[in-house]
């Protein structure tokens, strides 16, 4: 028995949710380029859950239902008010999602129709949790969701307390589409492993949030912004990178386990980052990012930016605090997690691989007094 470290290249599941083939990312057979250009996040949601794009009436119903279900149980709001103001936002989200299960009478029911209802609940409530926590820690009261709004509009409204402008909604909507699913990434795998024991949807999503949090996965977008802030201005990029690369440190937002020729999502985020920079009349983050890309992709390893790299400047231009970047990733990826969870339930087998034992053998226990 042998294993490639990190299961690199191992096919661990069959899935019809999304694919990465020859560097092209598709959801249910549609390229993300096509989806980003011609659909909204809610259409993508429907596609991931139902396997086909919705018609107009189905889309309207979905948007309305999501809006109606965005109100949080008061107990969850009380919990958000009681946690330390400087608590890690992903830890808060993980706790809140786990808590939501206690207020869903069908939480334990894993029949596919019930699992879909739980998916809807989670998709509706995650933006409300993140926005409520952000407001509470700034001394502001959480606000009631709009009766009919897309996820992007609802989140920005719940966060800012005023109706967002069209460009902001559109930029966030595209970012949500681009982060929605990604085949068997670490958090999706964690979700599938959890529910393959026939555990419930909330447990699967709670596991996934825990996996997404790490800096080698969703946490990278925050690390990118921390780097941009540390560098401070475009004229300091070269010296900063020279030092960092000499110390053989990783540059966050570059490289990918699967895409060796570049992440197909990065170009869309780069475009959005530029548009927002121009709209806000503040090109600092965008210009720094472009210079970093030039240096890192032109270096010895020719590393290309991944999805997290330009997300950082996009979210900052949208006025989203840095520590909410990974929760925002979860707001989008919960669509993919739940699509995979539903797929797992529909044709389940316990996921239980083996480990190659490399520890000592033939040990004999010495009586405790002789150790
Ligand atoms: N900065 C500098 N060097 C990097 C790098 C980065 N971001 N990513 C990879 N490398 C280097 C590695 O050090 C390694 O060099 P070596 O062959 O001299 O040892 C080589 O490129 C191969 O990288 P490896 O770590 O084996 O790739 P991986 O498939 O295991 O890792 C990531 C993929 C994503 C974990 C890795 O690229 C990384 O840590 N990136 C930064 C974090 C990030 O942006 N994560 C978000 C992913 S969407």
Q: Rounded to 10 degrees, what is the CA torsion of 183, 186, 189, 195?
A: -130
Residues 6+ apart with CB under 8 A from 184: 12, 13, 15, 192
From 179, 255, 301, 332, mutation site for ligand 1 pocket: most ligand atoms within 8 A of C-beta = 255
Q: Which residues lie across from 255 on neighbouring strands?
A: none
Residues in the chain: 371
Q: In the Cβ-directed half-sphere of 342, how many Cα atoms lie within 13 Å?
A: 21
Ligand 1 centre distance from Cα of residue 230 (Å): 21
- For the segment 317-359, what is each residue's pLDDT rounded down to a tens digit? 999 999 999 999 999 999 999 999 999 999 999 999 999 999 9
Verify whether residue 308 is a known catalytic residue.
yes
CA 255 centroid distance within chain: 17
The 3-state DSSP class for residue 90 equals: helix
Ligand 1 centre distance from Cα of residue 139 (Å): 39
Nearest protein Cα to ligand 1, atom 20:
301
Count of beta carbons in the 10 Å neighbourhood of residue 68: 13
Residues 6+ apart with CB under 8 A from 204: 191, 192, 194, 195, 337, 338, 341
- CA dist 175 and 328 (Å) reads 9
Nearest C-alpha neighbor of 277 from the set 180, 114, 175, 167: 167
As given in the structure block, the two tokens for residue 177 are 């589409």
pLDDT at residue 219 in the model: 85
Confidence band of 2 (pLDDT split at 50, 70, 90): confident
As given in the structure block, the two tokens for residue 257 are 């386990």
- CA dist 225 and 316 (Å) reads 8
- CA dist 359 and 291 (Å) reads 47
Ligand 1 centre distance from Cα of residue 261 (Å): 13
Ligand 1 binding site (Cβ under 6 Å of any ligand atom): 216, 220, 250-257, 301, 303, 306-308
Nearest protein Cα to ligand 1, atom 45:
216
Nearest C-alpha neighbor of 345 from the set 44, 69, 108: 108
- For the segment 274-314, what is each residue's pLDDT rounded down to a tens digit? 999 999 999 999 999 999 999 999 988 899 999 999 999 99
Nearest protein Cα to ligand 1, atom 2:
250
- For the segment 174-199, what is each residue's pLDDT rounded down to a tens digit? 999 999 999 999 999 999 999 999 99
Residues 6+ apart with CB under 8 A from 254: 296, 297, 303, 304, 305, 306, 309
Confidence band of 258 (pLDDT split at 50, 70, 90): confident
- Which residue is catalytic, options 256, 263, 268, 340? 256
Count of beta carbons in the 10 Å neighbourhood of residue 91: 13
Confidence band of 260 (pLDDT split at 50, 70, 90): confident
- CA dist 170 and 153 (Å) reads 9
Nearest protein Cα to ligand 1, atom 14:
301
Ligand 1 centre distance from Cα of residue 247 (Å): 14
- For the segment 46-102, what is each residue's pLDDT rounded down to a tens digit? 999 999 999 999 999 999 999 999 999 999 999 999 999 999 999 999 999 999 999
Q: In a 10 Å sphere around its CB, with 0-12 CB exposed, 13-18 middle and 19+ buried, how is residue 201 labelled?
A: buried
- CA dist 337 and 10 (Å) reads 20
- CA dist 340 and 183 (Å) reads 9
The label of the residue with tokens 């085949």 reads 183
pLDDT at residue 1 in the model: 61
Region class of 85: left (phi > 0), else alpha (psi between -120 and 50), else beta: alpha
As given in the structure block, the two tokens for residue 185 are 């990434």
Atom of ligand 1 minimally distant from the CA of 216: 45
Ligand 1 centre distance from Cα of residue 303 (Å): 8
Atom of ligand 1 minimally distant from the CA of 250: 1
- For the segment 126-142, what is each residue's pLDDT rounded down to a tens digit? 999 999 999 999 999 99
Nearest C-alpha neighbor of 346 from the set 194, 195, 205, 120: 195
Ligand 1 centre distance from Cα of residue 300 (Å): 13
Q: DSSP letter string over 253-271?
A: TB--SS-SS--TTHHHHHH
pLDDT at residue 371 in the model: 95
- CA dist 215 and 352 (Å) reads 26
- Which residue is catalytic, options 179, 268, 308, 340? 308
Atom of ligand 1 minimally distant from the CA of 8: 29
Q: In the Cβ-directed half-sphere of 215, how many Cα atoms lie within 13 Å?
A: 10
Nearest protein Cα to ligand 1, atom 38:
255
């Amino acid at each position: 028995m042998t294993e490639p470290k990190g299961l690199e290249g191992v096919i661990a599941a069959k899935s019809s949710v999304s694919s990465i083939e020859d560097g092209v990312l598709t959801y249910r057979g549609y390229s993300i380029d096509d989806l980003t250009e011609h659909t909204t996040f809610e259409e993508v949601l429907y596609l991931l859950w139902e396997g086909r794009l919705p018609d107009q009436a189905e889309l309207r119903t979905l948007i309305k239902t999501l809006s109606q279900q965005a109100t949080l149980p008061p107990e969850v709001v009380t919990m958000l008010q009681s946690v330390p103001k400087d608590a890690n936002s992903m830890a808060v989200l993980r706790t809140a999602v786990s808590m939501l299960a206690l207020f869903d009478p069908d939480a334990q029911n894993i029949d596919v129709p019930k699992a879909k209802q739980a998916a809807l609940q989670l998709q509706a409530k995650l933006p409300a949790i993140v926005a409520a926590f952000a407001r509470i820690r700034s001394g502001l009261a959480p606000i009631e969701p709009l009766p009919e709004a897309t996820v992007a509009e609802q989140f920005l409204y719940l966060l800012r307390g005023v109706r967002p402008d069209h460009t902001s909604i559109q930029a966030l909507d595209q970012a949500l589409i681009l982060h929605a699913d990604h085949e068997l990434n670490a958090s999706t795998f964690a979700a599938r492993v959890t529910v393959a024991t026939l555990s419930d949807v909330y447990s699967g999503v709670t596991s996934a949030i825990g996996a997404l949090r790490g800096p080698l996965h969703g946490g990278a977008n925050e690390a990118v912004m921390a780097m941009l802030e540390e560098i401070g201005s475009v004229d300091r990029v070269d010296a900063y990178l020279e030092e960092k690369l000499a110390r053989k440190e990783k540059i966050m937002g570059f490289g990918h386990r699967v895409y060796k020729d570049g992440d197909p999502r990065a170009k869309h985020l780069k475009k959005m980052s530029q548009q927002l920079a121009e709209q806000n009349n503040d090109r600092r983050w965008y210009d720094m990012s472009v210079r970093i890309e030039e240096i890192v992709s032109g270096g010895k390893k020719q590393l290309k930016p991944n999805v997290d790299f330009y997300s950082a400047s996009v979210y900052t231009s949208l006025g989203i605090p840095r520590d909410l970047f990974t929760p925002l990733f979860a707001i989008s990826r919960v669509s993919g997690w739940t699509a995979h969870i539903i797929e797992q339930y529909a044709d389940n087998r316990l996921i239980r691989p083996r480990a190659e034992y490399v520890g000592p053998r033939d040990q004999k226990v010495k009586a405790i007094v002789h150790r």
